[in-house]
Amino acid sequence: MITLIGDKDSKRTGYFLKAAGKQGVPVRFISWEKIFKGFNYRVLEGAAVKIDPPSYKITELGMMQESLLIYQNILKDMALCRCTFLNTPEAILNVLDKRAAKKELEKHMLPVTRMVSENVNSASQLIGIMRDKREYSVFIKPVNYSGAAGVAAFRLNPASGRMKLYTSCRLDKGKLYNTKKLHVLENNTDIINIIDSLAGMGGVHKMPGLIAEKWYPKDSFNGKSYDLRVVYQYGRVSYIVVRQSDGPVTNLHLNNQAMDFKELMLPENIVSGIEEICSKAVAVFKGLNMAGIDIMLDKGSRKPRIIEINGQGDLIYQDIFSDNKIYSEQVEMLSGKA
């Protein structure tokens, strides 16, 4: 029997259960609500376990940080269980840390979006680093968030000092909120306030802060820039979705456009290159059997480059509403059918 840890009403749960039902595989479901109230992890002993992330209705980023700390501590407790995990709790934690994960990928000589700063403390510090390194376009990211929460794309004109910020964050009465809309700011004071607020959350909530990454020009298709979410599991590519955008942030929940990967008609050498770096990236992290890997292709050369890796990045609407291939493969492997 498979044990699924998740949220009762999420699409992840619903479509995983559909895949299991189609194959006649029983699934024991344990809700995050139950786990948060207190749970005896010994009942997981010997099980084949998939851990889906909890769904948060919280939009205030400070409160999201606090919830994330609780989640990380629960994963550490689960790591003590002797189970067959889809992804081990340690592996999920290791790739949740964007800074450490990026360093590991670099250590293994994999092409990545390079960090300009490993620890952003303030807007003024970041601007100083950008001027020193002559890198005037960066992505700013909280170390532990996913789904574009707290992510911002920042440009600085080195001559005039004018700034531009693309972000899903909104600052209201001193608190940062995550929205499902991309905002474009061009007022320097507003931009500095948001960056300072993002950077300040790490100290207040004892979290690891922000990183800044070089903003690489992406390949485009039909006038829109794009990157790829690749779901790589059990040694092969399971699904690739193209994420198109008019702006720099491509996350699909920000009203961006998904496209069939085949429409890009990429040459075989580029496709095989994408598969190769995904294979090598997953191999870096022990206990990681599935990953959602965000890949960009450099403008011009189309060289693949890893943006980040997500240990729970397997929810692809284009798949679940079609063949439900990703979850079907997981059921097969966890049940021993494959």
3-state secondary structure 282-335: HHHCCCECEEEEEEEEECCCCCEEEEEEECCCCCCHHHHCCCCHHHHHHHHHHH
Residue type at 81 in one-letter notation: C
Per the CB < 8 A criterion, the answer to whether 208 and 202 are in contact is yes
Judging by DSSP bridges, how do beta strands 48-51 and 84-85 pair with one another?
parallel
**Residue-level pLDDT at 338:** 59
Kindly state the tokens that stand for 221.
């298709």
Which amino acid is present at 206?
A: K
Architecture of domain 217-329: 2-Layer Sandwich (3.30)
Tokens of 235: 């040694």
d(CA 44, CA 22): 24
The rounded distance, in Å, linking the Cα atoms of 171 and 189 is 12
Using only C-alpha atoms, the chain has a radius of gyration, in whole angstroms, of 20
Of 184, 118, 188, which Cα lies nearest the Cα of 152? 184
What is the dihedral angle through the alpha carbons of 111, 107, 151, 144, rounded to the nearest 10 degrees?
A: 140
Neighbour-count burial for 69-80, b at 16+ CB within 10 Å, e otherwise: eebbebbeebbe
Q: Nearest to residue 310, comparing CAs of 166, 70, 139, 102?
A: 102
CA separation for the pair 198, 121 (Å, rounded):
9
Question: CA angle, 54 as apex, 48 and 59 as ends, to 5°?
Answer: 165
**Binned average pLDDT, 10 residues per bin, the chain of 338 residues:** 94 98 97 91 91 82 79 93 96 95 97 95 95 96 73 94 92 83 92 90 59 94 92 97 80 66 95 97 98 96 96 95 97 88
* Closest C-alpha among 262, 260, 290, 267 to residue 278: 290
pLDDT (0 to 100) of residue 250: 65
Q: How far is CA 165 from each of CA 36, 200, 224, 247, rounded to the nearest angstrom?
A: 36, 18, 19, 11
Give the Cα separation of 61 and 210 in Å (integer): 13
Nearest to 141 by CA among 205, 207, 189: 207
CATH number of 2-89, picked from 3.30.420, 3.40.50, 1.10.3470, 2.60.40: 3.40.50
Q: Give the model's pLDDT for residue 205.
A: 46
Among 145, 102, 149, which residue's Cα sits nearest to residue 249? 149
| Whole-number pLDDT of residue 202 | 52
Beta strands 210-214 and 137-142: pairing type?
A: antiparallel
How many angstroms separate the Cα of 111 from the Cα of each of 81, 134, 157, 289, 307? 34, 21, 27, 21, 9
Question: Residues of CATH 3.40.50 domain(s) within the chain?
Answer: 2-89
The per-residue pLDDT for 181 is 81
- CB-CB neighbours of 176 under 10 Å: 22
Distance CA 219, CA 222 (A): 10
215 near 139, Cβ under 8 Å? yes
Residue 204: its pLDDT value, please?
47
Residues near 128 by beta carbon (within 8 Å), at least 6 away in sequence: none
